[in-house]
């Protein structure tokens, strides 16, 4: 999908460079776009940072990092039951391949940057009820975080929950990144 967006922005719309924004699955798509085409991207604005690899430190994780790891573990316990279904009752999902989205190779449309740092200037809009909220110390080894905004309310879908706040943060971040 990232390559489709590149062709749309460059070939169809004629942009030489552009900014990108994403949340949920869109965050994975635009992160991959920024990783694979950094020369085209003026800025990467995310309102979802998916599971980041742990950063090894001799002194161990900070309090914020340990809290994040616990939140991720809890989220996995509560929300990945389909994996148990696939492992114990695969016939339950026998019809899924007939649905077009399920036929996609999920590993190919996730970030798949394998821990590489994305050098594109990045903003992160954090909602208090987001699925997971990595601390800055875990995001910075993988992203060039130049702006982090903490929303007072909202959840996983910032565009629906807090559209004005999302728009304001986009304007503020991209104001100086026009091409």
CA distance 118 to 32: 9
CA of 55: how far to CAs of 7, 59, 62, 124, in Å? 35, 11, 10, 19
Cα separation, 141 vs 88, whole angstroms? 38
At 176 the pLDDT is: 85
- Cα(75)–Cα(32) distance, integer angstroms: 23
> What's the pLDDT score for residue 52?
63
Tens digits of residue pLDDT in 118-171: 999 999 999 999 888 888 888 888 899 999 999 999 999 999 999 999 999 999
The 10s digit of each residue's pLDDT in 80-132 is 766 666 666 666 555 555 555 444 444 443 444 556 789 999 999 999 998 88
Asked if the model's pLDDT at residue 21 lies above 90, the reply is yes
What pLDDT sits at residue 103? 46
Q: List, in order, residues 6 or more apart from 3 with CB less than 8 Å away.
A: 36
Distance separating alpha carbons of residues 42 and 33, to the nearest angstrom:
12
Q: What is the pLDDT of residue 45?
A: 98
Q: Average of pLDDT values for 19-23?
A: 97
pLDDT at 168: 98
Structural domain including 39 reads 2-177
Q: How far is CA 89 from CA 81, 84, 85, 94, 99, in A?
A: 11, 8, 5, 9, 19
**Looking at residue 104, what is its pLDDT?**
45
How many domains does the structure of the chain reveal?
1
Domain CATH for 72: 3.40.50.1820
């Amino acid at each position: 999908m990232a390559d489709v967006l590149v062709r749309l922005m460059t070939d169809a719309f004629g942009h030489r460079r552009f900014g990108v924004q994403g949340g949920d699955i869109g965050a994975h798509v635009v992160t991959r776009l920024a990783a694979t085409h950094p020369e085209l991207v003026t800025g990467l604005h995310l309102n979802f940072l998916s599971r980041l690899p742990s950063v090894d430190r001799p002194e161990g994780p900070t309090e914020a990092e340990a809290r994040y790891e616990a939140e991720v573990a809890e989220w996995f316990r509560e929300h990945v039951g389909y994996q148990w279904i696939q492992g114990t009752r695969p016939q339950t999902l026998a019809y899924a391949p007939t649905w077009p989205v399920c036929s996609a190779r999920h590993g190919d449309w996730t970030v798949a940057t394998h821990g590489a740092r994305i050098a594109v200037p990045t903003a992160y809009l954090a909602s208090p009820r987001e699925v997971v909220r990595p601390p800055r110390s875990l995001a910075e080894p993988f992203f060039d975080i130049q702006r982090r905004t903490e929303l007072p309310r909202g959840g996983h879908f910032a565009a629906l929950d807090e559209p004005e706040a999302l728009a304001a943060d986009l304007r503020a971040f991209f104001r100086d990144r026009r091409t």
